[in-house]
Amino acid sequence: MQTNDVTGALQYELMSQMLSSISQNSSLYGESDAQQNIFNMLMQSMLDATKDNNGDININKLNFLGNSDLSKIGYGAGTKLDKLSTGSASNGNNNSISDDINTDMKTNNLSIDQAVDNASKKYGVDKKLILAVIQQESSFNPNSTSSAGAMGLMQLMPGTAKELGVDNAYNVNENVDGGTKYLKSLLDNFGNYKMAIAAYNAGPGAVQNSGENLAKLPSETQDYVAKVSKYYQNV
């Protein structure tokens, strides 16, 4: 499925999580395989109903949240839906998906798309490159934490976050601002986006020691650069 803009892509991710969460809930309640298959077909039909005349996703065509504009809540709200797969119904709570989303809307959470747009304009870094790095680093999960301790959307290490003035690396705005600031410094240093993202992965020292030769960097970094470049070209 194709979406016609970045916000649409984030909305589609949110919808996918919603369907996944609901599907997991139905499995917990002991439905048969046949019932589960029927349920999944219904959920897919609901998703298909969000397509516009061009076949693009327009999640606002679903009206279960009344007049709420889903494009304003960002992907950060979507990650909370995972908690519902084992939480609300089994614990006797009355919280629903719409309650959770509306809570985020009331707290005015900054959407990822808006945060990236702000950072792009502030530091003069291509928005598409920032999105490509986020995709590779965290798959747009603001709560992501690596085994090494890297945090948030742009996977900032604690020391790096502190140097960049990021107090809460799981805050969408702070993380994207800090990560983009760091990416900008690498772009200025190396003057080449591929070397910059290689340094983002392996560290500036490693890139300098390689003579800025990608082939001399670890295979992990070479793979990282290839994937980010692919995302960058296709955003």
Q: What pLDDT does 110 receive?
A: 54
Asked if pLDDT for residue 16 goes beyond 70, the answer is no
Same domain, 39 and 77: yes
94 and 131 in a single domain? The answer is no
Same domain? For 215 and 141 the reply is yes
> What pairs with residue 145 in β-bridges?
151
Residue 1 — pLDDT band, cuts 50, 70, 90? Answer: very low
Residue 158 has pLDDT above 80, yes or no: yes
If asked whether residues 89 and 133 sit together in one domain, one would say: no
Name the token pair of 48: 């298909």
Q: For residues 50 and 18, what is the distance between their CA atoms, to the nearest angstrom? A: 14
- Domain boundary at 43, 71, 106, which? 106
User: Is it the case that residue 42 has pLDDT exceeding 80?
Assistant: no
The lowest-confidence range among 9-13, 14-18, 66-70, 207-211 is 66-70
- Residue 74 near residue 10 (C-beta atoms within 8 A): yes
Say if residue 68 is in the same domain as residue 142.
no
- Joined together, the tokens standing for residue 226 give 């290839």
Residues recognised as catalytic: 137
Let me know if residue 83 belongs to a domain.
yes
**4, pLDDT greater than 90:** no
Instruction: Single out the residue in 106, 132, 148 at which a domain terminates.
Output: 106
User: Within this chain, do residues 56 and 146 fall inside the same structural domain, yes or no?
Assistant: no
- CATH number for 163: 1.10.530.10
For every residue of the chain, which 3-state class applies, written as one string? CCCCCHHHHHHHHHHHHHHHHHHHHHHHCCCCHHHHHHHHHHHHHHHHCCECCCCCECHHHCCCCCCCCHHHCHHHHHHHHHHHHCCCCCCCCCCCHHHHHHHHHHCCCCCHHHHHHHHHHHHCCCHHHHHHHHHHHHCCCCCCECCCCCECCCCECHHHHHHCCCCCCCCHHHHHHHHHHHHHHHHHHHCCHHHHHHHHHHCHHHHHHCCCCHHHCCHHHHHHHHHHHHHHHHC
Q: Please tell me whether residues 20 and 101 are part of one structural domain.
A: yes
Q: Are 115 and 210 in contact, with CB atoms under 8 Å apart?
A: no
User: Would 190 be classed as within a structural domain?
Assistant: yes
CA-angle at 51, arms to 48 and 55, nearest 5°: 110
Write the pLDDT tens digit of every residue in 96-117: 444 544 443 333 345 898 999 9
Residue 1 lies inside a defined structural domain of this protein: no
> Which residue type is seen at 100?
D
Same domain, 121 and 96: no
**Average pLDDT score, the chain:** 74
- Identify the top-confidence range among 22-31, 52-61, 212-221: 212-221
Is 174 domain-assigned?
A: yes
Query: How many CA atoms lie less than 13 Å away from 84 in the CB half-sphere?
Result: 22
Residues 127, 57, single domain; the answer is: no
64: in domain: yes
Q: Which of 12-21, 121-130, 143-152, 175-184 has the lowest mean pLDDT?
A: 12-21
pLDDT at residue 111 in the model: 85
Quote the number of domains for the chain. Answer: 2
The pLDDT tens digits of the residues spanning 193-227 come to: 999 999 999 999 999 999 999 999 999 999 999 99
Residues 141 and 91 in one domain: no
Same domain, 97 and 153: no
Could you tell me the residue range of the domain that residue 198 belongs to? 112-234
- Same structural domain, 91 and 143: no
Among 83, 106, 129, the domain-final residue is 106
